[in-house]
Amino acid sequence: MEYEMVREIQNLCPNNQMRDIFFDEVETDDPVAYVRNFLQGKAVDVSSESGANGSVTVYATCDGLTQKFIFTPI
């Protein structure tokens, strides 16, 4: 399946409320497995939730940094 993936990384710098946001198109049958593979080699805690229209949101905590991956079907 083809998705538009939005990756949000929380900024831990003091006095900076902005997030780093990246966009990409990916093909995968399993968004959770995609994120695990993307963050390969690191200790990662992953959870996910399904949304309307087939979207999947994956939350990954790695080295104390939380990232959110939003997969929306194309």
Q: 63 — phi, psi (to 5°)?
A: 55, 40
Residue-wise pLDDT for 29-58, tens only, equals: 999 999 999 998 778 899 999 998 999 999
The pTM is what? Answer: 0.87
Mean pLDDT for the stretch of residues 10-39: 87
**pLDDT score of 15:** 74
72 contacts 26 by C-beta, under 8 angstroms: no
H and E: helices and strands count for the chain: 1, 5
2 contacts 28 by C-beta, under 8 angstroms: no
For the chain, the domains span 2-73
Mean pLDDT for the stretch of residues 6-13: 84
Please give the radius of gyration of the chain, using alpha carbons only, rounded to the nearest integer: 13
- Local structure of 64: helix, strand or coil: coil
Whether CATH 3.10.50 fits 2-73: yes
